[in-house]
Amino acid sequence: MITTAGSIAGVDVGGTFTDLVLFDPDNGTLHITKVPSTPTDQSQGVVSGLARVLPDLTKLTRLDHGTTVSTNALLEGTGATVAMITTDGFRDVLEIGRTRRMLPSVYDPTFVRPAPLVPRPLRFEISERIDKDGSILIPLDSTAIKKLAPLLDQHGIEAVAVCFLHSYAHPSHEQSAVDILRHSAANIAITASHQVVPEFREYERFSTTVINAYLLPVMTRYLSTLGDSLAAKEYRGPVYTMASNGGTMDLETAQQLPIRTILSGPVGGVTGALWITADAAVTDFVTCDMGGTSTDVCLIENGQPAAINETAFVGYPIKGRQVDINTVGAGGGSIAYAENGDTLRVGPRSAGAKPGPACYDHGGTDATVTDANMVLGRVGNRRLGGTIQPKQELAQTAVSTLATELSVPDVFRMANGIVRVAVAQMASAIREITIERGHDPTEFTLVAFGGAGPMHATLLADEIGMREVFIPVFPGNLSALGLLASDQIHESVVTFLGRLNSLDLAALLSTRDAQVTEGRRELIRRGFTNDTIRFTHSIDMRYSRQAFEITVEMATESWSLASLRRAFLDTYERHYGHADSNGEIEVVNLRTSIIGVNKKPMVPRAHERRGSIEDAIIGSRESWFDESLIVVNIYDREKLPVNQRFSGPAIVEEDGSTTVVTPGWTGHIDSAGNLRLTAVH
Amino acid sequence: MIDPILLELLQTQLTSVVREMRGIMIRTAYSPMIHEGHDFSCAVLSATGDLVAASEVEQPTHISALPWAARSVIERYGTDIGPGDQFLHNDPYSGGAHLNDVALYFPVFHENIQIALLGIMAHWQDIGGMVPGSLSGTATEIFQEGVRIPGIRIRRRGDPITEATDLLFANVRQPEERRGDLQAMIGACRIAEKRIVALVKRWGIDTTRSGMSALLDRAETRMRNSINNIPDGIYEYETHLDNTGDSPEPLLLKLRLTIKNDTLDADFSGSALQVSGPTNLGPATSTTAVFTMAKALLDTNGAINAGAMRPLSVTAPLGTVVNAHPPAACGAIGEVRRALESLVIGTLGKAMPDRLVGDLKGASNITAIGGPHLDRSGDFLFAEFPAGGTGAFLGGDGNNTVRNFAEGDISSIQPIESIELTCPLRVESTSLRTDSGGAGKWRGGLGLTRKLRLLAPHGRLSVLSDRNIIPPYGVRGGKNSAPNRFTIQRDGRVIQPSTLPGKVTAFPLRQGDIVIEETAGGGGYGDPLERDPMLAAHDVAFEYVSQSVMLGTYGVILRNGSVDEQATATARSQMANDRVLLNLQDLHNVSDSEFDGSRRLAIVSSSTAKRLGATRDTLIELPNPDGPSLRAWLRIDDGVHTGNCAIGSSALAILNLGIGATVEVRLLDLVAK
């Protein structure tokens, strides 16, 4: 418990637990705690968790948090009742999309496409049309919009998405429509496509805007409840929310653009890993954040996480810059089952938080990956996630039931098989994200965290052929830690479609300068100073006739048509292995990220722990390795002395996580307290 | 029984190899059809050419062509296949798809034993021939469609045989780019080779091989069990392609499926003779249609490998459109394959009516508009291939305008803003096509209507489509959906851009013309009079269905916005009574043949024709309570008793009815706006 003023807190609200990390500036230490999440009102968990580590919230100066409010609302279909106002003749763009199913469904004649978030009768067409060059083909029918207001009320509409064609460059009609609605339908949340994602391609923009509208009331409710609860505890400082791009947003932005919080949870792990590894000079790695239901993997190259500009969520496209996190349905709670009586399957079905693995004794009877690890003696029966007391015999029963079903002669081989299949799936995901970008995964370090990541790390590395594994400090709380280390990032994008040869470079540069000026003004308003503001630029480009563009990172220095061309060819070559230097190139979007660099807590140093490896042994256990049960040492991570090696097989325990070091690996704690594992076979 | 753990690991690892090959192809291939259209497939085959592993997203067109062509290479080179060899193939007549789909085969050896054969089949943007892109609706011989590669060696024990590839690249357009495509295929195989060898080192040769064969055996058992679950019997059905493009005659496709215990035999005998246009297939593709649709109906999540195909046998008679003699042109594989899929679904579905689905749009719908730019020199080319609605099924309506389960999952229409930014076209509207879904207890999904106005002073329109005349079928009494339709609106009038609907070649467009794309909906499932009136009312509220169709087809009557149960029941029973029910009689008393060319005949008296509201050659249908509706063309002959319908014995087999049975005869539903 701390009392110093100037503390900052990172809070990661997960499905089961809310993780808190509090930085105490007085002595540079971190305080960590975990409380059960409160799904019906996530803010309760945040406030009660804070109260545990910092009773006096007046000492807090900043709160960074990651929330799954948006993600859950989308998954559970509990967002707002939304209406859409769109250009006459185009209300079905939202329903037809690009005619893709976007969900796994090959060969399924009974596939049902998810219904659009706005049903057809609530998609109102308004007479208006602006051409691609901004000329007005049909003036906006303001009267019709005014007349809509009572109709919206009558349908119980909570939010409206205004989506007109070509508004990414020519937003005047959308702006007018928003103004009219603000007057005539004051109680309804309104969002317009040019505000959410001012990029061309109407369906992706409309879809993103509609989802934003769907989430607006939910997020506003949540953030205001959180604000009220914090205010009741006398905290009136800033509350930041982690965004999908790996930076935080202030309260106002989060309220207007909840769409940007879809990855709010998982991205914290990536920023946490970036922060911890930077100090250890590890720059090329793959993160593996294994939780209860799934595993998130992300490629980091030269200290930069891979980013994408479009993704899909439950079948709906979402545009906007975000960290490229690939999710596989293999987690600790993934269920192993027999399909057709003879085929072993692991996941994507999951026992979730409730009932959870069989060994949790919450009513689950299916064998899960966690149960398999329990049978193998890799998880002790002490502290799982702080509160749950797992029961070995329940895991045993679940796994042996499956073994009987599949005629596998013994329970250990069955359990081992379950773990290996889950690992093979994760390995497959990691190979894909590295090979897709032209890399050899064996040249990367595996950074494993999350509740179950360290338990599978060396197995996973072996499956891929990776030689180095990095288990950061606080692997069970890395997402919350990442929140503390995050910067504010704002994205600005302008569509600039045209051939590179005939590009108006002066116009491009002045647009870039305007993005910089506007971004700087905004960040200064938010308390940043010139020396804590940075900018990065990129341009989406493609060969003419291609439908998809690649994002080309641009240095801030002098831009010329030749340097743009060179940058495109280099990036294309890196991405696709070749580039045609004679091909005609098109410029599509200009992107600028405006970064407000936050003061970071110091990376925690390991205490100067001395003594021998043997002193760290806190017990031993029979565990299954290499086809037999052997007695292995259990080390307490807190007691491991710096830079002294131990060999696998071994188990390293700490609060919130267990690291399994398989045979053929050695480990040591580095000076920062990270657990470094190296293949020696 | 082989260890299920080992099998699952092997399966995951092999699928992972295939996915990596895909990733490398997307990353390194030059042809946009590959890296954007994803028109390619990767696979791990056994040394004997059996398909062992493919991912779920391989192009369905290639599923049986890839191993079929591999076997022809193996047959040719036999024991002379060694480490460091590579082979190329694309000839439809020895197992390929169409000439643009070029396959590379790459044997993998470990300690001088062949472990596997890697295969990639990919659509090259051009393979030579009479037009850029190689595919032409006017080709009459395969020689016009590009270079034919019958399965040749291009590398021997590591040494490239450049004479072979030089000859190939001397005969294609943009040869450097095509070399890039080949290089991408080789690169993907090289990485996969390393992975397969690592896998063998890990498991050992014997375990790997026995594991691979156990994966096939397991898939075989699974497929056999699925087939065993459906009743034994002979199931027949027939469908048509609208025409060949150079003649208005429809093309008949016939299928006779025999289910016996755990085997399924598909016999396409009786299908139309090969044609002079490009709507012909080589020997492999009919098997693809049988396998993919059997998987869809019997076991959606089943494996895609040779084991799963073992219980299936296919007869595709030589000289017909489903297995043509050389040198027939084979470019339009997309149209024929879709027609076959619809035929297989309709036939197999009769064995398992609860899994039947309404028909699909049944065409590729390739729409191309070209012409001069307005504001710069050079020409623009706009192309898209709009999707349609999907078929209704037991318990659910079809989806509106979406790539269907028999297709890949890539975009089929261009973004409006992208079209307007890059072409002198203005999109006037993009909307769902009201009433285009086939009516039924479960309604087919809606197609789309898209209107594109030409802003340039002139332009040209080409369309390759089918199901413009003979619409997608409904099943179990469900009605047909609206057919695909491609028209021009000029000066406020709608005009036809071709004499044969759906086959448009370079129709001259004028400034201000509006091209109207209308895609087919999905077929309906079950009797529309049994549709839950609440659902029908919902359809009207959503304007998926018009008021008049709700009344006239569904018999649902609303009062003050809610269903009037009483009035609806009365209306429905009246409509059921008004149906034209006829007794079947044998056609041979009045006609020598069941068919006129490809057209099945149904003969009625003049007064019956009048009652139906039909004249000579009107397309009619006989709904089947346990299958898809049977289509026929009406003939009038007063030698047939009023109240009777004379029809051939093969029609009786399709309907599973005998002489004297009473059936409904009705006009097709062609009311869609």
Q: pLDDT per residue over A56-98, tens digit each?
A: 898 899 999 999 899 989 988 999 999 999 999 999 999 999 9
* The pLDDT value given to residue A675: 97
Tell me which residues of chain B, numbers 13 to 32, contact chain A at a CB-CB cutoff of 8 Å. Answer: 13, 15-16, 19-20, 23-24, 26-28, 30, 32
Both structure tokens of A498:
């045209």
Is some CB atom of chain B closer than 8 A to the CB atom of A584?
no
Residue B536 has pLDDT above 90, yes or no: yes
The answer to whether the Cβ–Cβ distance between B412 and A109 falls below 8 Å is no
Phi-psi region of A293 (alpha: psi -120 to 50; beta: other; left: phi over 0): alpha
Reference A217, options A118, A67, A366, A81; nearest CA is: A81
Reference B651, options B621, B625, B616; nearest CA is: B621
Residue A31 has pLDDT above 70, yes or no: yes
H or E stretch covering A615: none
Is some CB atom of chain B closer than 8 A to the CB atom of A435?
yes
* The pLDDT value given to residue B450: 98
Question: Which range has highest mean pLDDT (A206-215, B171-180, B374-383)?
Answer: A206-215
* The pLDDT value given to residue A443: 93
Which residues in chain B are closer than 8 Å to A546, comparing Cβ atoms?
32, 36
* The pLDDT value given to residue A515: 94
Residue B329 has pLDDT above 90, yes or no: yes
* The pLDDT value given to residue A605: 63
- Separation CA B185–CA B318 (nearest Å): 32
* The pLDDT value given to residue A4: 55
- Separation CA B157–CA A509 (nearest Å): 55
- Separation CA B671–CA A149 (nearest Å): 36
Do residues B285 and A97 lie in contact, with contact meaning Cβ atoms separated by under 8 Å? no
Tell me which residues of chain B, numbers 383 to 422, contact chain A at a CB-CB cutoff of 8 Å. Answer: 386-387, 390-391, 393, 395-396, 399-403, 405-406, 409-413, 415-418, 420-422
Both structure tokens of A57:
């919230």
Give percent above pLDDT 90 in chain A: 70
The answer to whether the Cβ–Cβ distance between A110 and B396 falls below 8 Å is yes
The answer to whether the Cβ–Cβ distance between B402 and A548 falls below 8 Å is no
Both structure tokens of A261:
């919080």
Tell me which residues of chain B, numbers 282 to 301, contact chain A at a CB-CB cutoff of 8 Å. Answer: 292, 295-297, 300
Residue B672 has pLDDT above 80, yes or no: no
Q: Is A374 helix (H, G, I), strand (E, B) or coil?
A: helix
- Separation CA B487–CA B525 (nearest Å): 29
Both structure tokens of A259:
């769409």
Residue B322 has pLDDT above 70, yes or no: yes
* The pLDDT value given to residue A383: 52
Residue B331 has pLDDT above 70, yes or no: yes
Over range B346-351, report the average pLDDT: 97
Number of Cβ atoms within 10 Å of the Cβ of A582: 4
Over range A336-354, report the average pLDDT: 88
Over range A667-672, report the average pLDDT: 92
Do residues B119 and B43 lie in contact, with contact meaning Cβ atoms separated by under 8 Å? yes
Contacts (Cβ under 8 Å, ≥6 apart) of B577: none
Look over chain B and give the mean of its residue pLDDT values, rounded to a whole number. 94
Contacts (Cβ under 8 Å, ≥6 apart) of A303: A274, A278, A283
Which residues in chain A are closer than 8 Å to B35, comparing Cβ atoms?
576
Q: Is A305 helix (H, G, I), strand (E, B) or coil?
A: strand
The answer to whether the Cβ–Cβ distance between A99 and B399 falls below 8 Å is no
Over range B426-433, report the average pLDDT: 98
Over range A519-527, report the average pLDDT: 91
Which residues in chain B are closer than 8 Å to A98, comparing Cβ atoms?
411-413, 415
The answer to whether the Cβ–Cβ distance between A413 and B19 falls below 8 Å is no
Nearest CA in chain B to A462: B202
Over range A365-380, report the average pLDDT: 93
Over range A311-340, report the average pLDDT: 92
Do residues A447 and A285 lie in contact, with contact meaning Cβ atoms separated by under 8 Å? yes
Contacts (Cβ under 8 Å, ≥6 apart) of A155: A81, A83, A122
Do residues A676 and A470 lie in contact, with contact meaning Cβ atoms separated by under 8 Å? yes
Over range B260-286, report the average pLDDT: 95
Which residues in chain A are closer than 8 Å to B36, comparing Cβ atoms?
546-548
Tell me which residues of chain B, numbers 29 to 88, contact chain A at a CB-CB cutoff of 8 Å. Answer: 30, 32, 35-36, 56-57
Of A104, A406, A424, the CB nearest to B13: A424
In sign, the C-alpha dihedral spanning A307, A310, A312, A318 is positive
Reference B618, options B604, B607, B628; nearest CA is: B604
- Separation CA B384–CA B380 (nearest Å): 13
- Separation CA A445–CA A458 (nearest Å): 11
- Separation CA A629–CA A410 (nearest Å): 12
Nearest CA in chain A to B289: A107
The CA-CA-CA angle for residues B58, B63, B64, to 5°, reads: 170
Residue B136 has pLDDT above 90, yes or no: no
- Separation CA A123–CA A567 (nearest Å): 42
User: Which pLDDT band holds residue A681 (cuts at 50, 70, 90)?
Assistant: confident
* The pLDDT value given to residue A607: 59
- Is residue B650 packed enough to be buried (19+ CB in 10 Å), middle (13-18) or exposed (0-12)? middle
Both structure tokens of A217:
């009331």
How close A69 gets to chain B, by Cα (Å)?
30
User: Which pLDDT band holds residue B54 (cuts at 50, 70, 90)?
Assistant: very high
* The pLDDT value given to residue A437: 80
How close A433 gets to chain B, by Cα (Å)?
9
- Separation CA B640–CA B604 (nearest Å): 6
How close A201 gets to chain B, by Cα (Å)?
5
* The pLDDT value given to residue A606: 57
The pTM (predicted TM-score) of the whole model is 0.94
Which residues in chain A are closer than 8 Å to B432, comparing Cβ atoms?
92, 95-96, 120
- Separation CA A506–CA A670 (nearest Å): 51
Do residues B474 and B358 lie in contact, with contact meaning Cβ atoms separated by under 8 Å? yes
User: Which pLDDT band holds residue A446 (cuts at 50, 70, 90)?
Assistant: very high
- Separation CA B91–CA B98 (nearest Å): 7
Number of Cβ atoms within 10 Å of the Cβ of A40: 6
Over range A35-57, report the average pLDDT: 87
Is some CB atom of chain B closer than 8 A to the CB atom of A407?
yes
Reference A405, options A376, A356, A370, A367; nearest CA is: A367
How close B452 gets to chain A, by Cα (Å)?
12
Contacts (Cβ under 8 Å, ≥6 apart) of B376: none
Tell me which residues of chain B, numbers 327 to 346, contact chain A at a CB-CB cutoff of 8 Å. Answer: 345
pLDDT tens-place string over residues A174-208: 999 999 999 998 899 999 999 999 999 999 999 99
Do residues B228 and B214 lie in contact, with contact meaning Cβ atoms separated by under 8 Å? no
Annotate B277-341 with three-state secondary structure. Answer: CCCCCCCCHHHHHHHHHHHHHHCCCCCCCHHHHCCEEEECCCCECCECCCCCCCCCHHHHHHHHH
Over range A229-257, report the average pLDDT: 93
Which residues in chain B are closer than 8 Å to A112, comparing Cβ atoms?
396, 399
Residue B319 has pLDDT above 60, yes or no: yes
Do residues A257 and A320 lie in contact, with contact meaning Cβ atoms separated by under 8 Å? no
Both structure tokens of B660:
């004297």
Which residues in chain B are closer than 8 Å to A106, comparing Cβ atoms?
56-57, 405, 409
Look over chain A and give the mean of its residue pLDDT values, rounded to a whole number. 91
User: Which pLDDT band holds residue A390 (cuts at 50, 70, 90)?
Assistant: confident
pLDDT tens-place string over residues A154-165: 999 999 999 999
Residue A608 has pLDDT above 70, yes or no: no
Reference B228, options B298, B283, B176, B126; nearest CA is: B298
User: Which pLDDT band holds residue B137 (cuts at 50, 70, 90)?
Assistant: confident
Residue B661 has pLDDT above 90, yes or no: yes
Over range A563-590, report the average pLDDT: 89
Is some CB atom of chain B closer than 8 A to the CB atom of A521?
no
CB contacts < 8 Å between A and B, how many?
A: 200
Which residues in chain B are closer than 8 Å to A340, comparing Cβ atoms?
222, 225
Do residues B130 and B95 lie in contact, with contact meaning Cβ atoms separated by under 8 Å? no
Alpha-carbon distances, residue A96 vs A121, A128, B389, B411, B433 (angstroms)? 15, 21, 10, 11, 11
- Separation CA B662–CA B644 (nearest Å): 9
Q: In the block, which residue shows the tokens 């030749």? A: A562
Over range A652-669, report the average pLDDT: 93
Of A95, A120, A577, the CB nearest to B27: A577
How close B5 gets to chain A, by Cα (Å)?
5
- Separation CA B305–CA B223 (nearest Å): 11
Do residues B122 and B31 lie in contact, with contact meaning Cβ atoms separated by under 8 Å? yes
3-class SS shares of chain A: helix, strand, coil, % to 5: 35, 30, 35
Do residues A168 and A194 lie in contact, with contact meaning Cβ atoms separated by under 8 Å? yes
Over range B312-332, report the average pLDDT: 96
pLDDT tens-place string over residues B63-100: 999 999 999 999 999 899 999 999 999 999 999 999 99
Nearest CA in chain B to A439: B24
In sign, the C-alpha dihedral spanning A22, A23, A27, A29 is positive
* The pLDDT value given to residue A1: 46
- Separation CA B174–CA B132 (nearest Å): 10
Q: How many Cα neighbours within 13 Å face the side chain of A661? A: 29
Residue A384 has pLDDT above 60, yes or no: no
Over range B331-349, report the average pLDDT: 94
Residue A26 has pLDDT above 80, yes or no: no
